[in-house]
Amino acid sequence: MTEELEFQRQVETNFRWNFAVNTLDLSFYTFGFTLVSQATVLPLLVSQLTSSKLLIGLIPATYSLGYLLPQLLTANFTESLRRKLPFLTLVGGLVERTPFLWIGLTNTLLAPAKTLSPILGGWLATLVGYSPMFLVALVVSVLGGLLYSAWVHEPRHTPHLGGQAN
């Protein structure tokens, strides 16, 4: 029982830090992942390099292979490690996330004319006007923030979606 109490004390002590760091990590990872979208950006890039429909069609399979194969290959090794966090930090931090950052930055810096967001945003701003677009962006941001603050609670204090608080 003492181990359980010590564990709970440690969770309580580090909860805010862990929550903030994991939220930032997920935010940056999602941002980088969208810069390298397998549905829009990568097919456009590959079509600039080759006209082969086969290579363009292999993009989703390559994504799945890159996501699932390392888990299969490293599961036994990771399970046998006494301390798993250093290995997971290395693999998850450097090997998994860094390529998305570099590909996204490269796409943005080397091919700004082919980046879809500025083109679409510029077209909408020209069509509707800049002031209404900024107003829409403000409203969406405020609504997103309100929804986030209403739905994301510390799990140890409040029930979430019908769950029970500890």
Q: Domain boundaries in the chain?
A: 2-114, 115-166
Alpha helices in the chain (DSSP H): 2-35, 41-49, 53-57, 59-80, 85-89, 98-110, 116-128, 130-151
| Maximal CA-CA distance, the chain | 66
The first and second tokens of residue 143, run together, are 């609504």
- The answer to whether the beta carbons of residues 23 and 36 sit under 8 Å apart is no
Model pTM score: 0.49
- The answer to whether the beta carbons of residues 74 and 53 sit under 8 Å apart is no
Across 34-63, average pLDDT: 84
Residue 48: pLDDT band by 50, 70, 90 thresholds? confident
The share of the chain scoring above pLDDT 90, in percent, equals 3
pLDDT digits (tens, 9 = 90+) for 105-121: 777 776 665 666 666 66
